[in-house]
Chains A and B, each alone.
Chain A
Amino acid sequence: AQSVTQLGSHVSVSEGALVLLRCNYSSSVPPYLFWYVQYPNQGLQLLLKYTTGATLVKGINGFEAEFKKSETSFHLTKPSAHMSDAAEYFCAVRDSASKIIFGSGTRLSIRP
């Protein structure tokens, strides 16, 4: 069965610093991978997704993620953090049965 592991339940960076949120997956078939963002009291919103093709995927708000099959990773990055990036971020995998399984989430805080 597919699964997702997010390393670090809470990440804090300074405004303008690099954001790196880690995600590792396990899958017996080629995975379809997603990053979602959740702002307080709201639902989840898609940031970006990897299905096939280019392994570097660009999303909204300046975020991008790179699919690395050899490392079974799909880490999320942003070169320069903004205060508005403070939120909870979820990595997810869609399995062969089309269930979407989420990681435990990483709360991103931005220091002024």
Chain B
Amino acid sequence: DAGVIQSPRHEVTEMGQEVTLRCKPISGHNSLFWYRQTMMRGLELLIYFNNNVPIDDSGMPEDRFSAKMPNASFSTLKIQPSEPRDSAVYFCASSPTGAMTEAFFGQGTRLTVV
């Protein structure tokens, strides 16, 4: 298996623009997580899906952020409008169903908003 695939790997955008990050989870995995990593705040859980349904979005910073999972093999995280403070590395991770299982991480998308 190719693992969790994220695109793009790097994104530079201007403040106010819309940004869409993409994730393809490992086939057969039922849970999908979006995390944001910054020096100041560490690794924050933004949203968590189970069987394509958002279970917990309490970590989404504000209404500018939205996430979707239209099917089991694809998820997006959208920021509209983007702001410089959104600059971070965004990770997508997936796991099989069950609390005993670990999450498998993608390589991340490094977002820079100028």
A101 nearest in chain B by CB position: B45
- Assess whether B108 is interfacial by the CB under 8 Å rule: yes
Beta-carbon contact of B42 and A102 below 8 Å: yes
Given contacts A99-B56, A102-B45, 13 further A-B contacts (CB under 8 A): A32-B99, A43-B91, A44-B93, A52-B100, A94-B101, A96-B99, A98-B48, A98-B98, A98-B99, A99-B45, A100-B33, A101-B45, A104-B42
- Among the listed B4, B42, B103, which residue makes an inter-chain contact with A100, where contact means beta carbons less than 8 Å apart? B103
Task: Give the distance to chain B from A24, nearest Cβ to Cβ, in Å.
Answer: 16
- Assess whether B114 is interfacial by the CB under 8 Å rule: no
| Contact indicator per residue, chain A 83-108, by CB within 8 Å of chain B (1) or not (0) | 00000001000111111111111000
Interface residues of B (CB under 8 A from A): 4, 31, 33, 35, 42-43, 45, 48, 50, 55-56, 91, 93, 95, 97-108
Among B97, B99, B108, chain A packs the most CB atoms within 10 A around the CB of: B99
Knowing A99-B56, A102-B43 are in contact, say whether A51-B100 is a contact too (CB < 8 A).
yes
Beta-carbon contact of B50 and A105 below 8 Å: no
B105 nearest in chain A by CB position: A43
Beta-carbon contact of A100 and B108 below 8 Å: no
- Among the listed A34, A97, A104, which residue makes an inter-chain contact with B102, where contact means beta carbons less than 8 Å apart? A34
Beta-carbon contact of A49 and B102 below 8 Å: yes
Task: Give the distance to chain A from B26, nearest Cβ to Cβ, in Å.
Answer: 13
Beta-carbon contact of B102 and A42 below 8 Å: no
| Contact indicator per residue, chain A 12-40, by CB within 8 Å of chain B (1) or not (0) | 00000000000000000000101010000
A-B contact count (CB 8 A): 59
- Assess whether A56 is interfacial by the CB under 8 Å rule: no
Task: Give the distance to chain B from A45, nearest Cβ to Cβ, in Å.
Answer: 7
Q: Which residues of B contact A42 (CB under 8 A)?
A: 107-108
Q: How far is the CA of A44 from the CA of B105 in the complex (A)?
A: 6
